[in-house]
Amino acid sequence: MTVPTLSEPEAPAPDEQAGKRGRERAEPLPARIVRALLTQRIVLLAVLIVLVVIYFMVLGANGYLTAAYDFDYMSAALINAVPLAMLGFAELIVILSGRGGIDLSVGAIVSLAGMIFGFAYGQWGWPLWVAILITAIVGGLLGLVNGILVAYIGFPALIATLATYYAYKSLAVVINNQRPISTRPIQDLYDSTARSVQLPLIGAWVPDVPKGIFLFLLPTMIVVWLLLARTTYGRRVYAIGTNDVAARWSAIGVRATRAGAYMISGLISGLVAVVTVGQFASARPDAGVSGNGMALPAITIAVLGGVAITGGIGRVSGIVLATVLIVWMNAGIRLAFEGNAGPQNQLLALGLLLVFAALLNGFALRRYGGAG
């Protein structure tokens, strides 16, 4: 509690709104466009998506691609969007909750929960829906461990999720002696969850869409959007991410809300585990941690999608657009280069985009007082 101290000016700020409105009216169109691009992340992403798609289509038309970059291809590529966007939502919620919120353990949860799913559905013969439910719950509990460490005990999120990353990663391998589970039911899962299907009614004019989009991505997207934009819990998350001292003074249960964010992240990771098992037709112990792991792309999506690393700012639409941008960009790169150069250049593109997005965030913050 402070009463005015020397460090605060006694003079109140005059009403700035009139001045701001005046300035807005006088701004010429090009400057307005630039400002919208820099401060409205959605706008920027949408523009970039269009540019990327046009770019690759033009390349294709001029014969530079190994296959056609057409709507069918773009639609099929969306299979990769499913786990990516879902983990992007997970990171969104955690980063939104503020206090340095981040979750490095999502990939490890995917691996461990995936193995649980493999046991439940692939070996013990439980019904699919039960297995999926159990997997999600397991994911939620694993995430709750993070939540307790961060919100109740006070570990920095980076440390807590780093530790659980190590722990869960090793458990995933140990639990089945490093063997994947690829029994028959698991293999059949590809057909039921990952294959592309023709859309009803409009299917003849529109490319086939991977099932995963409808089974997993869209429901998760809707639920997360509803959660953040329409529920009291979502408001609490934004509140604690914006100013958790003011949240406390507003009678918001800061610790419970924050722990919940990590639990939800774990739950979503559990669902991603099911998606991944279906996509590879096998429950692999290194599913979420192979290569660079799944956490890094998810966090990249979040930052690209306009999430503020300090919390309180971020939207589902940003995540979705950022995912679509990355997926279609990667898809184009794969066609534009032969052999391994494709995946390699995807890395470069991702890295450059991230640095660019971060610098942009910083610049927009200084120049316009924020990007959203």
Work out whether 232 is an interface residue with other proteins (CB under 8 A): yes
Nearer to other proteins, 57 or 167 (CB): 167
Nearer to other proteins, 74 or 335 (CB): 335
Nearer to other proteins, 125 or 370 (CB): 370
Please identify which residue in 155, 190, 225, 337 interacts with other proteins, judged by CB under 8 A. Answer: 155
Smallest distance, other proteins to C-beta of residue 353, A = 8
Smallest distance, other proteins to C-beta of residue 19, A = 10
In angstroms, rounded to a whole number, what is the distance separating the alpha carbons of residues 195 and 132?
Answer: 18
What sign for the dihedral angle of Cα 243, 249, 253, 254? positive
**Contacts (CB under 8 A) with other proteins, residues 41-100:** none
Q: Choose the binding region for other proteins from 5-13, 56-64, 180-188, 269-277 (rule: CB under 8 A).
A: 5-13
Nearer to other proteins, 7 or 62 (CB): 7
Nearer to other proteins, 131 or 289 (CB): 289
Please identify which residue in 181, 261, 283, 303 interacts with other proteins, judged by CB under 8 A. Answer: 303
Smallest distance, other proteins to C-beta of residue 299, A = 6
**Contacts (CB under 8 A) with other proteins, residues 158-177:** 158-160, 162-171, 173-174, 177
In angstroms, rounded to a whole number, what is the distance separating the alpha carbons of residues 219 and 222?
Answer: 5
Angle, helices 128-147/157-174, rounded to nearest 10 degrees: 140
Please identify which residue in 125, 127, 154, 203 interacts with other proteins, judged by CB under 8 A. Answer: 154
User: Closest by alpha carbon to 90, among 50, 147, 14?
Assistant: 147
Name the residue type at position 75. S
**Contacts (CB under 8 A) with other proteins, residues 239-298:** 239, 242-243, 245-253, 291-293, 296
Bridge partner residues of 210 (DSSP): 196
Smallest distance, other proteins to C-beta of residue 188, A = 29
Record the tokens describing residue 196, joined without a space: 């592309």
User: Closest by alpha carbon to 268, among 223, 317, 213?
Assistant: 223
Nearer to other proteins, 181 or 303 (CB): 303
DSSP of 248-292, one letter per residue? HHTT--HHHHHHHHHHHHHHHHHHHHHHHHHHHTSB-TTTTTSTT
Smallest distance, other proteins to C-beta of residue 285, A = 9
Please identify which residue in 66, 178, 192, 198 interacts with other proteins, judged by CB under 8 A. Answer: 178
**Contacts (CB under 8 A) with other proteins, residues 341-360:** 341, 344-345, 347-348, 350-355, 358-359
User: Closest by alpha carbon to 307, among 103, 80, 83?
Assistant: 103
Smallest distance, other proteins to C-beta of residue 241, A = 9
Nearer to other proteins, 192 or 250 (CB): 250
CB atoms within 10 A of CB 261: 30
Nearer to other proteins, 221 or 350 (CB): 350
CB contact at 8 A, 30 and 36: no
Output the CA–CA distances (angstroms, integers) from residue 182 to 36, 115, 119, 280, 323, in the order listed: 49, 11, 10, 9, 29
CB contact at 8 A, 64 and 120: no
Please identify which residue in 16, 26, 28, 67 interacts with other proteins, judged by CB under 8 A. Answer: 16
**Contacts (CB under 8 A) with other proteins, residues 183-222:** none
Output the CA–CA distances (angstroms, integers) from residue 63 to 66, 240, 328, in the order listed: 8, 52, 18
Smallest distance, other proteins to C-beta of residue 180, A = 14
Longest Cα–Cα distance of the chain, Å, equals: 74
User: Closest by alpha carbon to 187, among 272, 103, 122?
Assistant: 122
Smallest distance, other proteins to C-beta of residue 3, A = 4
Nearer to other proteins, 198 or 290 (CB): 290
Smallest distance, other proteins to C-beta of residue 183, A = 22
Record the tokens describing residue 134, joined without a space: 């159990």
In angstroms, rounded to a whole number, what is the distance separating the alpha carbons of residues 216 and 199?
Answer: 16
